[in-house]
């Protein structure tokens, strides 16, 4: 079995800007499990455990669903937490861009015939920067989050979706591409 998800990655320049705030946040010494910078991505659909023989059908469905889509412009801006700053579980960088929600919905609809049920929660585009283990040191982090709640980290042109394999390890998850599908190039 393969633990899999569908995602897009952002431009290296944007990730470099996020890495700067990531370092500041880590220095605040909060009790978080930090996401590795090279692993930052926007998950469009978490698939869970799949069989090897499902990879090609999934890629085929993605090809049919998104190959006519135009590239997307995604802006990375702001810091926040889910479910909120008083009871944080996930620390995130916000993402916005015209067509992002539609892309997520297109993928959800396309995968339904392959027995991947639609997500119950509303799609909220973000990059997970860290997962909160306890509120120890949270006050220091909260100060930084509020200072950067509107900071713009840059924008990316996204022109493909990728099916990833996720290997969970003690030092953090490692992601391997199982295949990508390009959008229409204009």
Active site residues: 41, 126
User: Two tokens at 93?
Assistant: 């960088």
Q: Give the span between the Cα atoms of 153 and 21, in whole angstroms.
A: 9
Residues linked to residue 167 through DSSP beta bridges, in sequence order: 174
Burial of 141 (C-beta count, 10 Å sphere; 0-12/13-18/19+): buried
Q: Which residues of 156-174 are buried (b: 16+ CB within 10 A; e: fewer)?
A: bebbebbbbbbeeeeeeee
The answer to whether the CB of 99 falls within 8 A of the CB of 105 is no
Tell me the H-state helices in the chain. Answer: 12-27, 55-66, 100-111, 138-147
Handedness of CA 105, 79, 46, 4 (dihedral sign): positive
């Amino acid at each position: 079995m393969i633990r899999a998800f569908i995602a897009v990655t952002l431009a290296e320049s944007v990730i470099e800007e996020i890495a700067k705030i990531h370092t500041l946040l880590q220095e605040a010494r909060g009790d978080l499990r930090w996401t590795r910078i090279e692993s930052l991505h926007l998950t469009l659909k978490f698939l869970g455990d799949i069989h090897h023989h499902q990879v090609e059908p999934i890629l085929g469905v993605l090809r049919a669903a998104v190959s006519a889509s135009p590239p997307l412009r995604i802006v990375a801006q702001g810091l926040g937490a889910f479910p909120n700053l008083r009871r944080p579980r996930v620390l995130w960088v916000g993402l916005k861009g015209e067509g992002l929600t539609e892309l997520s919905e297109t993928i959800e609809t396309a995968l339904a015939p392959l027995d991947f049920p639609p997500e119950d929660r509303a799609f909220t585009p973000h990059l997970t920067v860290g997962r909160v283990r306890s509120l120890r040191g949270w006050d220091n982090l909260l100060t930084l989050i509020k200072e950067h709640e509107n900071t713009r980290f840059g924008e990316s042109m996204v022109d493909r979706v990728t099916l990833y394999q996720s290997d969970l390890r003690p030092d953090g998850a490692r992601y391997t591409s199982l295949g990508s599908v390009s959008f229409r190039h204009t």
